Amino acid sequence: MNHAPAAQLSKPFEVSNRLVLAIAVPMTLAYSTTPLLGLVDTAVVGQFGDAALLGGLAAGAIIFDVVFSSFNFLRSGTTGLVAQAFGRDDTLEQRAVFLRACIIAVVCGLAMVLLSPLIATLGEWFMGAASDVTAAMDTYIRIRLLSSPAALLNYAILGYFLGRGEANLGLLLQLVLNGVNIVLSIWLGLHLGWGVAGVAWGTLCGETITALLGLAIIARRFSLMPKVAWGSIFAPAAMRRMLALNGDIMIRSFVLMGAFTLLTRQGAQLGALTLAVNAVLMHFFMVSAYFLDGFATAVEQLAGRAVGARYLPAFNKAIRLTLLWGFGMAAAACVLVLLFGDQLITVITTAEEVRAEAAYYLPWAAFAALSGVMAFQMDGVFIGATWSRDMRNMMLLSFVAFAAALLVFGHYFGNHGLWAALHVFLITRGLSLLAILPRSVRATFAG
């Protein structure tokens, strides 16, 4: 389902810088805690002085991230649908959307637990690592997959809070998740000497405790409201809309992962040095992405709320303000990377050859944030408005443009060409969605 229901009474609300920042700042802080978690896990396992354990942890985390990123729709799709119900002041539908998302999360999570031996085997086959690395990887994956129901519930819980604009609760849950994870990973992995298994159990406990806390907050809130009929939760039209939305977002996520995987592969074809250099430089882009994600989350909620309220002025202002903030943050990040990137590269790696090459290609990474602003913000707009089909189609179009640019530019210009192709991908995503925005707006707000 691509567009909102037919006309209803407009419910005006004011979009301000304060409202944008009230969502963007907490979520930027929440997203920024994720790299710290990975750093602590690596440091814990690194204390055992066994390269195979570190390799198993890294490989297992990659497989787990690939599998779980497929379920990001439980966060973003829930945010968009709850935001629209919030804009209509429809509290029953907000609850129904959340309960639908929870049912999907539990069913998918339990399926992943049952399929964990198969997922682990396929992941190990794909990585094709040495036997000692594979053993550590197998331990990590099998334990982590036990957390699947709780992890997917956390996506739905976060989506519900963000759909209502309650970013502070989202930040609280992310701090609990990562805080418990860090403490237990250190205690179980290092103090008790469990190693990779301790890190995995620490993550499982963090996911479970966070899910229980989030559900307790929501259950207490729901207990003060009228009950939702099961018929409303399983209403065929609403279920079809959610499944169609989630399917489109899943395809979009797969294509996005495919683009970055292809970029990494093409870098590997240019040699180990290029692969290492691009891995270092991608850290700069990913840090910038945390800030852009914060404002993209803000426009998800505000655009969805405006669609639900059928109030076009709020929709337009949400786009305008988040784009201004996005470009401002990206410009600041670009300047900081250009000024201090060399020093940061020396912190990330001690290899002189990698340092020199990374400094040479640094401007490409610095300006990637600016190229990506429109892509991040337009994604947020289309997710919030639940224009998922259009977003999926423009992602496919952008991937075709990216693949063509990658092959041509990479062939003639080497690593410069790979980075140029990444900019083509980001710019095409943003401009293609911007180009079809007026048509989607007319279809949704007409009448």
DSSP state of 188: I
Render the burial of 6-25: b for 16+ CB within 10 Å, e for the rest.
eeeeebeeebeeebbbebbb
Upper half-sphere CA count for residue 277 (Cβ side, 13 Å): 28
| Residue 114 near residue 194, CB atoms below 8 Å | no
pLDDT at position 70: 81
How far is the CA of 281 from the CAs of 90, 285, 332, 343, 364, in angstroms? 45, 7, 17, 13, 9
pLDDT at position 38: 67
Give mean pLDDT in consecutive 10-residue pieces for the chain, a chain of 447 residues. Answer: 51 91 92 71 74 74 78 91 94 93 95 92 78 84 92 95 95 92 89 87 94 96 84 84 90 88 84 82 84 93 95 96 95 93 81 87 94 96 94 96 95 94 97 96 86
User: Across 136-207, where does the E strand assignment appear?
Assistant: none
pLDDT at position 80: 94
DSSP state of 225: S
pLDDT at position 330: 94
Cα-Cα-Cα-Cα dihedral sign, residues 171, 172, 175, 176: negative
Cα-Cα-Cα-Cα dihedral sign, residues 355, 360, 365, 370: positive
Q: How far apart are CA 204 and CA 324, in angstroms?
A: 39
Q: How far apart are CA 298 and CA 306, in angstroms?
A: 12
Q: How far from chain centre, in Å, is Cα 29?
A: 14
Angle, in degrees to the nearest 10, between helices 415-445 and 272-309: 10
Q: Give pTM, 2 decimals.
A: 0.89
Cβ neighbours for 148, distance < 8 A, ≥ 6 positions apart:
108, 109, 110, 112, 113
Residue 422 is encoded by which pair of tokens? 């990444």
Task: Please measure the distance between the N-terminal and C-terminal CA atoms of the chain and give it in whole angstroms.
Answer: 19
∠ CA(222), CA(225), CA(229), 5° rounding? 85
pLDDT at position 41: 75
| Residue 251 near residue 392, CB atoms below 8 Å | yes
Three-state DSSP at 145 gives: helix
Three-state DSSP at 165 gives: coil
What are the tens digits of pLDDT across the range 46-78?
Answer: 777 777 777 777 777 777 777 887 888 899 999
Cβ neighbours for 97, distance < 8 A, ≥ 6 positions apart:
78, 81, 82, 85, 160, 163, 238, 242
Q: How far apart are CA 308 and CA 125, in angstroms?
A: 46
Q: Position of tokens 């692969």?
A: 275
Angle, in degrees to the nearest 10, between helices 196-223 and 148-163: 40
∠ CA(53), CA(56), CA(60), 5° rounding? 145
Per 3-state DSSP, what percentage of the chain is helix, strand, and coil (rounded to 5)?
A: 85, 0, 15
